[in-house]
Structure 1
Amino acid sequence: MDTGIATKCIYGNHEKFEGDRTGAISFPIYQTATYAHPAVGQSTGYDYSRLQNPTREQLEKIVASLEGGLDALAFSSGMAAITTLMEIFKPGDHIISEADLYGGSIRLFDHINQKNGIEFSRINFAEEDPENYIKENTKAIYIETPTNPMMNVIDIRKTAELAKKHNLLLIVDNTFLSPYFQRPFELGADIILHSGTKFLSGHNDTLAGFIVVNTPELSEKLRYIIKTTGAGLAPFDSWLVLRGIKTLPIRMEKAQENAQAIVEFLMQEKKVKNVYYPGIPGTNNYEVCKSQASGFGSMLTFEVESKELALHILESLKLIPFAESLGGVETLITYPTAQTHADVPEEIRIKNGITDSVLRLSAGIEDKKDLIADLKQAIDSFRE
């Protein structure tokens, strides 16, 4: 049955799970570590929950369905997913990555993967041609789009064409837009990543990560690694993400509506120097995003006049929490310099535009007039 994405969020590809005979509408939590065997050499299909668990398997099928992939693997966090993915590479391999990435990804690449012999070239895809950085040992291109936190939009089709020309893997972190707004496989990507903690879960109550692939070879390779390293998502957390995905479409739509209203407000504020959001008409980001996604999302970044004003806003907000993370029903504001990108060297942060007067905001699903009023009172109460 070919169904729309809102239906897939609830039923996936409508495959029935034969292990439960109760007719439960909410998929059961199989809170077990191991499974009894009928006899020697026989299995129920489940042997040990590090290998697979019915609740995790159901979640993985749903996510694979949403992205149009062959297989999805659920991990204990987004970083666990990226860490596992890096294990498909070997010492001496080279990866080209976007310069503006989540700080945890940069930390992993710089302090773990490079130590293990993987080489990285970090470039600004908007200003530099990645083809100039391809070498004999280059194996993959790694991007986020939009990027975290500066909201740069990378042309996935164009990058996929380049990757295929040189027989490289294209890895796309699709966390910010989710499969509801953007489906990278349809644009030529080979591997899709998610921090499932964010929009897929949507309630700021659990950690999760995903790798989605569309070839048997990558599936087999990654299944072996997740079995060996043991980074799979636990049953209860899998159930929480399953529950969260059911409301993904209505959350994404409402949060985007709020983000667009906040962007319009911020662009009129004299104390706000810059607003970064893919949905601002007249920008290159707008045109590229419009060509490859069905929405602009609910993430935005803005730069105010001074560090002092940025700190004042964080301390003066009465409704919006000052907290790390994003993608939940609650609007959250983050200070990248001290939080998400604190471990990124200062010269790299500044080069990427992450100054000490930059704030990142993840719009939630509250009443937009309340969010704007909270931001306005925080800005207006600042006295230099």
Structure 2
Amino acid sequence: MPGFTTRVIHALHDVEKGAVTPPIYPASTFLQPTEGGEGEFEYQRGSNPTRTDAETTLAAVEGSKHAFAFATGMAATGSVLGMLASGDEVIMGLPVYGGNYRWATIELPKRGVTTTFVPDLNQLTEDHFTDSVKMVFLETPTNPTLRVADIRRITDLAHAHGALVVVDNTFLTPYLQRPLELGADLTVQSATKYLGGHGDLLAGVVATNDGDLAATVAQSQVISGGVLSPIDSYRLLQNVKTLGLRLDRQQENTSRIVEALNNHPGVSRVLVPGSFSEDEARIQSEQASGPGAVFAFELADGKDVRKFLAELKVFGFAVSLGGIESLICLPASMTHGAYSAEDRELAQIPDGLLRVAVGIEGAEDLIEDLTRAIDAA
């Protein structure tokens, strides 16, 4: 079987004209056969040739039977959480991305859906499941604390109680972790991040091997209209072809930076996937082929985090991750600012925790930027 990047690059081409890249079809509507029936494409919200090409490529990335491209990562997540009905309950790991937290605490209650947050899903037991639990939603590694959850164990437990398992795989992507192969029913990703990889588009993807779930997701695209535009579909299907190359470089940079920070007296702790415990390190090594390129750290006592941020020259102080440029943020007040104080404490996200998304710049330049700023703080 061809390797990951080979499969993605050769997922499709313009068969009719022999072009190595497919064309862009910006059409909002398509002519229909006058003799009756429907053509292959009718209206862009339902389907579009360029979005279909992107979804074919995304399925190759995921190794899945079905993939669906949405206008944003939250539109993708919303299509999955939207499967829940009044009276249902979802078990959700904590922490989760702030947008997912908003869905759970603002949108789902309007629909009569209850969310139970579990800070450590590795501690999930039979006692957590009632007849109303219809879904377990998890991130692994978690954003921003990099906690690792055992996908296969959680999936086996959830399926024994008739619940779906959804994995937000944004941090590792299918290049490093393949939740569907570990038993998950659906995966969601913010394709704005690593799949797009250049900080120049918003997109989301849902993938599944289940035909019935695929039909439900496809229907949600038509109903909500939150679909990826033809132009962004084309850019995404081209950008994702370099995912493996980018992540290899980003992980190499991350490894060198983490080593430098672990040895710096101005840093109190560094969080990476598997650093919480030996058990989580084992799980991470078994279910993923790499740690990714996001980590978190805290400065030592006496260091001023705002002065540190002001001294940075290469790292950008901004939300998001997965692009070729390195970014740093304060999750407590930025990506996870929607959290209640109680949930932020439960999720172990202190005010001074810094989340780092490593790009493809020179590792020496990134290390110098961080260490100089730490010294100046």
TM-score class, shorter? over 0.9
The alpha carbon displacement at 1:237 in A equals 0.8
Structure 1 residue 133: deviation in Å?
Answer: 1.3
Q: Name the counterpart of 2:279.
A: 284
CA distance, structure 2, for counterparts of residue 6 and residue 317 of structure 1:
34
- Report deviation, 1:117: 0.7
Q: Deviations over 1:332-368 (max 9, x none)?
A: 1011112101111122112212111100001111100
Moved more, 276-285 or 24-33: 276-285
Counterpart secondary structure, 1:232: coil
Ranges in structure 2 where 5+ consecutive residues have no aligned partner: none
Determine whether 1:155 maps to 2:150: yes
Q: In the TM superposition, what whole-angstrom CA distance separates every residue of 1:127-154 from its partner, at most 9, and x where no partner exists? A: 6324321111110110001010000010
What residue is the counterpart of 2:366 in the other structure? 371
Distance across 2 between alignment mates of 1:307 and 1:127: 35
The DSSP-based 3-state class of the residue aligned with 2:314 is coil
**In structure 1, what is the Cα distance between the partners aligned to 2:328 and 2:125?**
32
Q: For 1:72 and 1:17, how far apart are their aligned partners in 2?
A: 20
Matched, 1:63 2:58: yes
**After the TM superposition, which residues 106-125 of structure 1 pair with which residues of structure 2 at under 5 Å, given as runs?**
106-125=101-120
TM-score normalised to structure 1 length: 0.94
Instruction: Kindly provide the CA deviation profile for residues 35-87 of structure 1, in whole angstroms up to 9, marking residues without a partner as x.
Output: 11232424441100100111111111111122222211110000011111122
Greater Cα offset, 72-81 or 263-272 = 263-272
Mapped partners of 2:274, 2:364: distance in 1? 19
State the partner residue of 1:206: 201
Q: Percent identity?
A: 37
How many angstroms does 1:280 deviate by? 5.1
Note if contact 2:93-2:121 (Cα within 8 Å) is conserved in structure 1: no
Q: What amino acid maps onto 1:250 in structure 2? A: L
d(CA) in 2 for partners of 1:48, 1:199 = 29
1:52 aligns with 2:47: yes
Shift of 1:306: 5.1
Q: Distance in 1 between matches of 2:83 and 2:140?
A: 22
Query: For residue 326 of structure 2, what is the amino acid of its counterpart?
Result: T
Once the two structures are superposed, the pairs formed by residues 86-165 of structure 1 within 5 Å of their partners are 86-125=81-120, 128-165=123-160
Instruction: Name the CA shift for 1:284/1:269 in 2 (closer, same or farther; >3 Å).
Output: farther
Q: Of 239, 242, 262, which residue of structure 1 is paired with 2:237? A: 242
Q: 1:27 corresponds to which residue?
A: 22
Shift of 1:27: 2.1
DSSP 3-state at the match of 2:212: helix
Contact 1:140–1:170 (CA<8 Å) still a contact in 2? yes
Give me the whole-angstrom Cα distance separating, in 2, the residues matched to 1:312 and 1:88.
45
Q: CA deviation at 1:230?
A: 0.6
Q: Which runs of 5+ in 1 are unaligned?
A: none
Q: Distance in 1 between matches of 2:217 and 2:304?
A: 46
Question: Could you say which residue in structure 2 is the equivalent of 1:228?
Answer: 223
Q: Give the structure-2-normalised TM-score.
A: 0.96
Between 283-292 and 212-221, the greater mean CA deviation after superposition? 283-292
Equivalent residue for 1:7?
Answer: 6
Q: Residue 38 of structure 1 aligns with which residue?
A: 33
What is the alpha-carbon root mean square deviation over aligned residues?
1.7
User: What SS does the corresponding residue of 2:342 show, helix, strand or coil?
Assistant: helix
Q: Which residue of 2 aligns with 1:303?
A: 298
- What number of residue pairs does the alignment pair up? 377
Q: Distance in 2 between matches of 1:369 and 1:17?
A: 42
Task: Report whether the alignment pairs 1:167 with 2:162.
Answer: yes
Q: Using the alignment, how far apart are the partners of 1:175 and 1:184 within structure 2?
A: 11
Match of 2:192 in 1: 197
Contact 2:122 2:149 in 1 (8 A): no
Query: Equivalents in 1 of 2:41, 2:324: separation in Å?
Result: 35
Q: Counterpart of 2:51 in structure 1: which amino acid?
A: R
d(CA) in 1 for partners of 2:375, 2:51: 48
Asked if the contact 1:305/1:357 (under 8 Å) is kept, the reply is: no
